[in-house]
Amino acid sequence: MSDQTAGSERKGAIRNPRDFFGGLALVGLAAFALWASRDLPGMHGFAFGPGTAPRLFAGLLAVLGAAIALVGFLTDGPPLERFYIRGPLFITASLLIFAAMIRPGGLVITSFVSIVVAAAGTDEVRWIETVIWAAVLTLFCSLLFPYGLNLPFQLWPRF
């Protein structure tokens, strides 16, 4: 995602930066897939091997990605859109915290922390309201999932 600043600076050179960098990223993905499937056996006789289909699709993707980048280089298009950091950052952080805490921390504490972190993802956050709302939601989740739906959740940390 670091191509954003680079793109807006070089706006004059690349006429359709959204397509150009998007296409390049797909070429990169295809190259990565080709590299990751390099050790898989390919065709033997007329039967496909495990590596045939991945390499086939990766090859096609590389060609198309290059074509998109080329079109982006030759035609005009809208400039890159700004990437907002705050929302994606806190949402991702909230999910990572959930993943890290749910096993050792139990549902109650994990939900509360994850909700508060996620809520910080907007400029409009109001902290007192958030804490109360997080407590209400935590209570709701702790009743709904383990009791209402009978899912195997551990509520509190294990010591």
Q: 70-109: which residues touch another protein (CB under 8 A)? A: 71, 75-76, 80-81, 83-84, 86-88, 91-92, 94-96, 98-100, 102-103, 107
Measure the CA angle with vertex 140, ends 136 and 141; round to 5°. 120
Total residues interacting with another protein, rule: CB under 8 A: 78
Q: Which is nearer to another protein, 73 or 102 (CB)?
A: 102
* CA proximity to 122, closest of 79, 157, 87, 154: 87
Q: Which is nearer to another protein, 13 or 127 (CB)?
A: 127
16-75 positions binding another protein, by CB under 8 A: 18-19, 21-23, 25-26, 29-30, 33, 36-37, 40-41, 45-51, 53-54, 57-58, 60-61, 64-65, 67-68, 71, 75
Q: How far is the CB of 65 from another protein (least distance, A)?
A: 6
Q: Is 45 exposed, middle or buried (0-12, 13-18, 19+ CB in 10 A)?
A: exposed
* 156 lies in the binding site for another protein (CB under 8 A): no
Tell me the per-residue interface mask from 120 to 139 with another protein, x by CB under 8 A, - otherwise: -xxxxxx--xx--xx--x--
